[in-house]
Structure 1
Amino acid sequence: MSEKIAIKNKALKVFITGATSGIGESLANQYAKEGAILGLVGRRLELLKKIKAKIHVPCEIYAVDVLDQKGLQKAASHFIKKYGAPDIVIANAGVSTGTLAGEKEDLHTFKRIIEINLFGVIHTFLPFIKVFKKQKSGQLVGIASVAGIRGLPGSGAYSTSKAALINYLESLRIEMKPFGIHVTTIAPGYIHTPMTKHNRYTMPFILDADVAVSRFIKAIQNKKSFVIIPWQMKIVGIIMKFLPTSVWDFLAKGGPKKIRKTIQ
């Protein structure tokens, strides 16, 4: 029995939110292939059960909304008590839809996107930071977006939430360094997921979820501080960041717009 526990304790432990589809599901599957012990968080219990049934590693599932801070604390405490602190916490849960920054009718959706995409990450990390500080190790990973580099017309809420997330993760990274805790910001371009399947415009350099996630995992293993994936989008991101305002305004005004819908 002691031999099995010793082997088990050597396994990578990964805690992932937004695990029921897209990037989160691919992260779960790929880490499972590596023999990792998993903690998976999502809102839909039935989908979590299906994912758990397909993987053959120790796996705990938690049907919790990332806006439920107490629920996430309870899930984190359960996972830590059973397996010990995770090596990696990946805050992946997020939402996107079109919004108009100047329209009152989009205010509710604007708030919801920022709450989920920003505060959902904060809620995810908080339960683990104390134990990470105590053990002087651990890695916190936030999934941001190239959309956070500049404000995108028609996607004001999403751009705002990801810009705020990028800056939050940067602040956190600097704060955590003295404790030996690594913070990784991943800013993807377009990826084939349920979030992008309704986009009615060309999505340059789009990647299949499994391909993108394999690159995410490599960046996480290498403890990158900030990475844009794929590399072509890194070039686009650099250009976006340094374009003069007048040029950006001219180019962006005719850009594609996401479909607007209400997020409850």
Structure 2
Amino acid sequence: MTAPLVYITGASSGIGQALAMRYHAAGYRLALVARRAAEIEAWCRAQGFDAQRWAVYAADVRDVESIVTAGKACVAQQGVPDVVIANAGISVGIDTAQYADLEVMRATFETNNLGMAATFHPFIDPMRARGSGVLVGIASVAAIRGLPGHGAYCASKAAVVSYCESLRGELRPSGVRVVTIAPGYIDTPLTRGNRYSMPFLLSAETFAERAFRAISAGASYRVIPWQMGIVTKLLRVLPNWLFDRALAGRARKKRQGE
């Protein structure tokens, strides 16, 4: 088929599923990746999607061989994607004083960072050879400053921003674009357990629409919603003493098992 192809990890719920719906509406073929492959397949059938316009690949982004194999299978079965969205991610609070939370930090970096690089890996050479393609990394406004109880998540998302910026410079001469999307608070299963206020909260569908527009418009970096973009700019210049005072007493992210 000649329709463009989008490859999305973490597609079984939340942002990933909303992005899949938006790209399908735009005429794209779908390559959807998650550990729970059966759930995505059932969802695609429930939407009435044409079976020739989608395929599902079971993979765990923490397992490099697993996610690389999924990417290669996509190329073999559906061709080189036009857009690859590394969306799979986890967000769990940690307390560094708790020994068990060191493993939570490892899992966070393996998922949010190593998993992103492994997601992109199978497509870089084919996209370079073709001279086109878009690699999209989903970061977070949590990348801007460290939040109490969010050490693993904030650090991992800051790493996403830097990694995508580095990759963008590396691939610029090849015609392959790298886009960083930094969501604010989005109503998904990942955020519904939060025990603090979430200003400018967006539905996953609204986020997907705005992300689709930003990626299509050729943006290299976009904070969604724009209001959070203003907040992040202010946070960047806030003196440490004032930032620390503002965050004093803020509820911490729930730890694993809480």
TM norm structure 2:
0.95
Structure 2: distance between partners of 1:160 and 1:230: 21
Aligned: 1:86 with 2:74 = no
Q: 1:170 to 1:128 in 2, by over 3 A?
A: same
- Per the alignment, residue 182 of structure 2 pairs with 187
Contact 2:62 2:107 in 1 (8 A): no
| Structure 1 residue aligned with 2:28 | 36
RMSD, matched Cα? 1.4
Please report how far the alpha carbon of residue 242 of structure 1 lies from its aligned counterpart in structure 2 after TM superposition.
1.3
Structure 1 gap segments, 5+ residues each: 1-7
CA distance in 1, matches of 2:179, 2:156: 17
Q: Is the contact made by 1:153 and 1:257 (CA closer than 8 Å) also made in structure 2?
A: yes
Give the SS at the match of 2:55. strand
Aligned to 1:143: 138
Shift in CA distance, 233/211, structure 1 to aligned 2, threshold 3 Å: same
Q: 2:39 aligns with which of 47, 50, 63?
A: 47
Distance 1:102 1:185 in 2: 32
- Residue 24 in structure 1 maps to residue 16 in structure 2: yes
Unaligned runs of 5+ in 2: none
Cα shift at 1:198: 0.7
Equivalent-residue separation in structure 2 for 1:157 and 1:142 (angstroms): 18
Q: Does 1:111 align with 2:106?
A: yes
Matches of 1:83 and 1:95, distance apart in 2: 28
Q: CA deviation at 1:72?
A: 2.1
Q: Is the 8 A contact 1:189 1:230 kept in 2?
A: yes
Q: CA deviation at 1:63?
A: 1.2
Counterpart of 1:248 in structure 2 is 243
Question: Does the 8 Å contact 1:117/1:162 carry over to 2?
Answer: yes
- State the match for 1:101 in structure 2: 96
Q: Please tell me the residue identity of whatever aligns with 1:26.
A: A
Runs of 4+ in 1 over 4 A off after TM superposition: none
Q: 1:163 to 1:210 in 2, by over 3 A?
A: same
Could you give the per-residue CA deviations for residues 55-77 of structure 1, whole angstroms, max 9, x where no partner exists? 42411101110122222222222
Tell me if 1:161 matches 2:156: yes
Q: Distance in 2 between matches of 1:116 and 1:108?
A: 12
Q: Any idea what SS the aligned residue of 2:190 has?
A: coil
* 1:56 and 2:56 correspond: no
Cα deviation code 1:89-147 (max 9, x no counterpart): 00000001111234333111111111101111011000100111111110000000000
SS in 2 for 1:20: coil
AA of the residue aligned to 2:60: D
Q: CA deviation at 1:52?
A: 2.2
Q: Assess if the C-alpha contact under 8 Å between 2:133 and 2:176 holds in 1.
A: yes
Alignment of 1:125-136 (within 5 A): 125-136=120-131
Task: State the TM-score, normalized to the length of structure 1.
Answer: 0.93
* Residues 141 and 223 in structure 2, CA contact (< 8 A), matched pair in contact too: yes
For residues 117 and 190 of structure 1, what CA distance do their matches in structure 2 show? 17
Letter of the 1:19 counterpart: A
AA of the residue aligned to 2:208: V
